[in-house]
Structure 1
Amino acid sequence: MITIEGVSRVRGRARILHEVSFEARAGRVTGFLGPNGAGKTSTLRVLLGLDRAQGGRALIDGRRYVDLDRPLTVAGALLDGSGAHRARTARAHLRWMAASNGLPKRRVDEVLELVGLAGEAGKRAGRYSLGMSRRLGLAAALLGDPPVLILDEPVNGLDPAGIRWMRAFLRDSAAEGRTVLLSSHLMGELAETADDVVIIDHGVVKADGTLAEVVGSHATLEDAFLARTAGEGASW
Structure 2
Amino acid sequence: MITVEGVTRVRGRTRILHEVGFTARPGRVTGFLGPNGAGKTSTLRVLLGLDRPQAGRALIDGRRYAELERPLTVAGALLDGSGAHRSRTARAHLRWVAASNGLPKGRVDEVLELVGLSADAGKRAGRYSLGMSRRLGLATALLGDPPVLILDEPVNGLDPAGIRWMRTFLRERADQGRTVLLSSHLMGELAETADDVVIIDQGRVVSAGTLAEVVGDHPTLEDAFLARTASRGAAW
Q: TM-score range by the shorter chain?
A: over 0.9
Matched residue, 1:147: 147
Deviations 1:41-72 (A, max 9, x none): 00000000000100000000000000100000
What secondary structure does 2:230 align onto?
coil
Q: Give me the whole-angstrom Cα distance separating, in 2, the residues matched to 1:52 and 1:5.
A: 14
TM-score by length of 1: 0.99
Alignment of 1:132-211 (within 5 A): 132-211=132-211
Equivalent-residue separation in structure 2 for 1:207 and 1:25 (angstroms):
17
The unaligned stretches of length 5 or more in structure 1 are none
Secondary structure of the 1:230 match is helix
SS class of match (2:88): coil
Q: Percent identity?
A: 86
Over aligned residues, Cα RMSD in angstroms? 0.4
Deviation at 1:126, TM superposition (A): 0.3
How far apart, CA to CA, are the structure 1 residues paired with 2:190 and 2:72?
A: 25
Alignment of 1:19-34 (within 5 A): 19-34=19-34
In structure 2, C-alpha distance between the alignment counterparts of 1:234 and 1:123, rounded to whole Å: 42
Structure 1: how far apart are the matches of 2:123 and 2:117?
Answer: 10
Shift of 1:234: 1.6
Separation in 1, partners of 2:196, 2:66: 26
Would you identify which runs of 4 or more consecutive aligned residues in structure 1 move more than 4 Å? none
Point out where structure 2 has 5 or more consecutive residues left out of the alignment.
Answer: none
Paired positions, count: 236
Report the equivalent of 2:49.
Answer: 49
TM-score calculated relative to the size of structure 2: 0.99
Question: Are residues 1:115 and 2:115 paired?
Answer: yes
Paired with 2:129 and 2:231, the residues of 1 have a C-alpha distance of 38
Aligned to 1:217: 217
* TM alignment of 1:75-154, pairs within 5 A: 75-154=75-154
Q: Whole-Å Cα distance in 2 between the matches of residues 42 and 126 of structure 1? A: 26
Could you say which residue in structure 1 is the equivalent of 2:226? 226
Cα distance in 1 between the residues matched to 2:206 and 2:118: 42
